[in-house]
C-alpha cells in the first residue's frame, strides 16, 4: 500500500465535528487501535483522546438524526412501525406511541456526559473509551465506560421480549422510547460487559460484568437474532421473532469482538467456535468476491458507511485469538482493495472498497476505510 499520497489524517473533536457527526466514538476506537501498532502516531492520538473527552459531551446534545440512520431507509421503515411500549425508565411522561416515519425520532438532549436517548450510541462510546484506556491506561476512560454501561444496564431485561427466553432473561431496547429491539444494541451491551469483565479490578465491582455478559449471550442465542445460517438479522419484530431484517456487516462484527472478549474472560473456547462460524458465514454472504460490500451501497447514509469497518475490526480481534490464515488473507485483501480501489485522488477513502470511489468521501467512509487499513496492518 505504498504511495506518495499522504495517509488519512487524524482529527480531533472540535465544535463542528462533535456537532455534526454521530461517529466520533468510532474514530476514537480506530485511532486508539492504530496507535497500538504504530507508536509514531501516539502523541497525536493522545491529544485527540484528551480533547474529545473534554469537548464531546458539550456537543452531544446537538447530535441528531440528520445524518440518517440506516434503519430510516425506505426498506427498513417497517422495523420502527407503531408499537405501544411502556414509559421510559426515567418516567418523564413523554408520549411513547411511535408511528412509522421516514427516519428515526430526533435525539433529545442527553442525560449528561456521553449518554443520550439511544443505547446503541452509548455502547459505541463505552467501547471507544475502553479502547482509549487500553492505549493510555488512563483510569478516567475506564471509569467513563463503566458509567455508560450502568445507564445501558438500567434497562437490561425490561423489554417485552426479555422474558420470552427464560431462564435467560436479558435484552435491551434500542432507545428510551422502546420503539425497537435490535441486534446492534444487544451485541454492544454484551461486548461492553465482556470487555469490562477483563479490565475492571474493583473489589467488589459495581456489577458482575462477566455474569451479565454470559446471561446476555444466553438471551441473545435464545432470542432468534442469530439465524440458522449463522448470521445476525437486524432485530426482533413486535411478536419477538426474528424480523428477517437486512444482514448488516456491523451486526456480525460487534458480536465477533464480544464473543472473543467473552472467551478471553472465561477461558471457554466454545465462544470462539461460535464466532468463527459467524465470521465465515458473514464473509461468504457479504464478500462473495473477497471484498466486503454492504447491502445499502451505493447510498448508505452516514451510519451505514461505517458498518464494514466495524466488521473488519471485530474479525481482527477474533484473528488475534484464533489466527486463521483465511482471515488474515481476507483482512489483508480488503485493506489492499481500499487503498488501491477505494481511495480518491486526494487520498480520501470512499464508501465502496471495491471501487470506484463514487460519492465524495466523508467522515463515515474515511473512518471505515481506516478501520480496514488498521486491521490489515495488524495481522
Sequence spans of domains, the chain: 15-377
Per-residue b or e along 154-189, where b marks 16 or more CB atoms closer than 10 Å to that residue's CB: ebbbebbbbbbbeebbbbbbbbbbbbbbbbbbbbbb
CATH topology of domain 15-377: Glycosyltransferase (1.50.10)
Contact 225, 235 (CB under 8 A): yes
CA 109 to the chain's CA centroid? 22
Residue 288's contacts (CB-CB under 8 Å, 6 or more residues apart) are none
Query: The C-alpha cell of 127 is what?
Result: 467501547
> What is the 3-state secondary structure of 243-303?
CCCCCCHHHHHHHHHHHHHHHHHHCCCHHHHHHHHHHHHHHHHHCCCCCCCCCCCCCCHHH
Q: Pairing between strand 181-182 and 235-236?
A: antiparallel
- Nearest CA among 58, 52, 66 for reference residue 22: 66
- Angle (CA) 204 209 211, round 5°: 105
Q: Which bin fits 93, alpha (ψ -120 to 50), beta or left (φ > 0)?
A: left
3-state secondary structure of 191: helix
Q: What is the block-wise mean pLDDT of the chain (379 residues), using blocks of 10 residues? A: 44 43 82 96 97 84 46 38 35 34 36 86 97 98 97 96 86 95 98 98 91 97 97 97 97 99 98 99 97 94 91 99 99 98 94 90 93 97
pLDDT number for residue 61: 53
pLDDT number for residue 60: 62
Contact 316, 378 (CB under 8 A): yes
pLDDT, one tens digit per residue, over 326-369 is 999 999 999 999 999 999 999 999 999 999 988 889 989 999 99
pLDDT, one tens digit per residue, over 272-308 is 999 999 999 999 999 999 999 999 999 898 789 999 9
Cα 33 to Cα 64: distance, rounded to the nearest angstrom = 27
CA 295 to the chain's CA centroid? 17
Output the pTM of the full model: 0.85
Point out which residues pair with 112 in neighbouring strands.
115
CA 120 to the chain's CA centroid? 8
pLDDT number for residue 165: 78
Name the strand (E) or helix (H) holding 34.
helix 24-37
Point out which residues pair with 242 in neighbouring strands.
236
Contact 307, 294 (CB under 8 A): yes
Cα 53 to Cα 14: distance, rounded to the nearest angstrom = 11
Amino acid at each position: 500500500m505504498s504511495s506518495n499520497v499522504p495517509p488519512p489524517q487524524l482529527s480531533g473533536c472540535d465544535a463542528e465535528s462533535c456537532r455534526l457527526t454521530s461517529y466520533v466514538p468510532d474514530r476514537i476506537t480506530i485511532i486508539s487501535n492504530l496507535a497500538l501498532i504504530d507508536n509514531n502516531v501516539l502523541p497525536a492520538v493522545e491529544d485527540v483522546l484528551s480533547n474529545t473527552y473534554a469537548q464531546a459531551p458539550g456537543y452531544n446534545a446537538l447530535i441528531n438524526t440528520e445524518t440518517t440512520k440506516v434503519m430510516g431507509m425506505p426498506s427498513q421503515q417497517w422495523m420502527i412501525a407503531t408499537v405501544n411500549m411502556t414509559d421510559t425508565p426515567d418516567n418523564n411522561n413523554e408520549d411513547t406511541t411511535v408511528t412509522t416515519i421516514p427516519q428515526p425520532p430526533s435525539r433529545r438532549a442527553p442525560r449528561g456526559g456521553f449518554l443520550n436517548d439511544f443505547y446503541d450510541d452509548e455502547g459505541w462510546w463505552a467501547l471507544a473509551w475502553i479502547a482509549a484506556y487500553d492505549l493510555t491506561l488512563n483510569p478516567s476512560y475506564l471509569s467513563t465506560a463503566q458509567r455508560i454501561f450502568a445507564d445501558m444496564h438500567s434497562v437490561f431485561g425490561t423489554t417485552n421480549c426479555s422474558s420470552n427466553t427464560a431462564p435467560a432473561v436479558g435484552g435491551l431496547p434500542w432507545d428510551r422510547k422502546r420503539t425497537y429491539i435490535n441486534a446492534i444494541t444487544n451485541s454492544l451491551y454484551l461486548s461492553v460487559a465482556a470487555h469490562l469483565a477483563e479490565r475492571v479490578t474493583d473489589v467488589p465491582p459495581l456489577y458482575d460484568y462477566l455474569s451479565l455478559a454470559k446471561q446476555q449471550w444466553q438471551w441473545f442465542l435464545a432470542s432468534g437474532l442469530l439465524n440458522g445460517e449463522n448470521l445476525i438479522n437486524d432485530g426482533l419484530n413486535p411478536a419477538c421473532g426474528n424480523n428477517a431484517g437486512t444482514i448488516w456487516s456491523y451486526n456480525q462484527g460487534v458480536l465477533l469482538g464480544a464473543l472473543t472478549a467473552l472467551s478471553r474472560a472465561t477461558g471457554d473456547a466454545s465462544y470462539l467456535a461460535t464466532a468463527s462460524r459467524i465470521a465465515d458465514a458473514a464473509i461468504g454472504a457479504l464478500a462473495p468476491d473477497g471484498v466486503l460490500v454492504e447491502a445499502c451501497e451505493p447510498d448508505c447514509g452516514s451510519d451505514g458507511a461505517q458498518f464494514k469497518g466495524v466488521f473488519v475490526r471485530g474479525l481482527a480481534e477474533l484473528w488475534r485469538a484464533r489466527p486463521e490464515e483465511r482471515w488474515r488473507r481476507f483482512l489483508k485483501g480488503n485493506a489492499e482493495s481500499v487503498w488501491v480501489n477505494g481511495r480518491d485522488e486526494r487520498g480520501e477513502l470512499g464508501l465502496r472498497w471495491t471501487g470506484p470511489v463514487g460519492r465524495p468521501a466523508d467522515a463515515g467512509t474515511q473512518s471505515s476505510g481506516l478501520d480496514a487499513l488498521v486491521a490489515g496492518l495488524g495481522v
